[in-house]
Amino acid sequence: MSTYIALSPPSSPNLLHIHRISHAQSISNLQRDIHAYAISTLDFSPASQSTKDIKILDAKFADDACLLILLQLPADDKSLSNVIVSLPYTPAANDIPHQHPLITYTPLPQSSLQQHFLPQGTPPPSPRNKIIVTREMVQKHTQHVFEGRFTPMKLVVNGKKGRRVIVVLGDDRKHYRVLDMDYRMKKEKEDGDEGSGTGTESEAEDRDGDVEMGGA
């Protein structure tokens, strides 16, 4: 089995490092039970439309296939756009016929794994080959665009598949938004059952207002 860890260093908020550790189902000895270690680094800086870099605000794994990334995009007019991007991060999720995998991993040599184990281990090196994320890729995989009056800070994903929600906390730490992650899936099912829908996703989002947390 594999465990994934996503980290965006404060010193480089336009980079996202994804660590994949393949290991035994039960870990009792690191040297024996860690089978492989691979890293992928996503560089979002080319997706910026201004001199300022894109900022990764947060990243969470939604399930075994989808990684949600909260991005702040600077524009030419000095305004900011905040979006949620969904990227497939596992080999199975990236296995699309006739398409190159979006996220690939650089494995560390098996002989060097022991020098990175805790407690005396050193940090693994960053991959030399970064995956360049373009503006077009961000637009293609954007799942939600926040209105200008709400500036997000953190997100949390919870619930079972088909009933999953994303809670997004505002940067004022008082307001939050609750998004239905499976809305599109449910709407497609309703359209298939009834033949036509009664509203668009954007209309449903327009009906969602900000919620202020009491006592904050």
pLDDT reported for residue 62:
92
User: What's the residue count for the chain?
Assistant: 216
In sequence order, the β-bridge partners of residue 143 are: none
Range of lowest pLDDT (89-93, 116-120, 177-181, 211-215)? 211-215
pLDDT, tens only, 83-128: 999 999 998 877 766 567 889 999 999 888 888 888 888 888 877 7
What pTM, to 2 d.p., does this model score?
A: 0.82
Question: Looking at the predicted structure, is the pLDDT value of residue 15 above 70?
Answer: yes
- Say if residues 17 and 7 touch (Cβ distance below 8 Å): yes
19 to each of 42, 57, 211, how far by Cα in Å?
A: 11, 18, 35
pLDDT, tens only, 96-106: 665 678 899 99
For residue 201, name the pLDDT band (cuts at 50, 70, 90): very low
DSSP-derived secondary structure for 65-91:
SEEEEEEEEE-TTS-EEEEEEEEE-SH
Of 187 and 140, the structure prediction assigns the larger pLDDT to 140
- Say if residues 147 and 133 touch (Cβ distance below 8 Å): no
pLDDT reported for residue 124:
84
pLDDT, tens only, 158-168: 877 778 899 99
Question: Looking at the predicted structure, is the pLDDT value of residue 189 above 80?
Answer: no
Tokens of 80: 């900011």
For residue 188, name the pLDDT band (cuts at 50, 70, 90): low
For residue 171, name the pLDDT band (cuts at 50, 70, 90): very high
Of 202 and 32, the structure prediction assigns the larger pLDDT to 32
Where does residue 13 rank: exposed (0-12), middle (13-18), buried (19+ CB within 10 A)?
middle
pLDDT reported for residue 190:
54
Average pLDDT across the chain, whole number: 83
For residue 31, name the pLDDT band (cuts at 50, 70, 90): confident
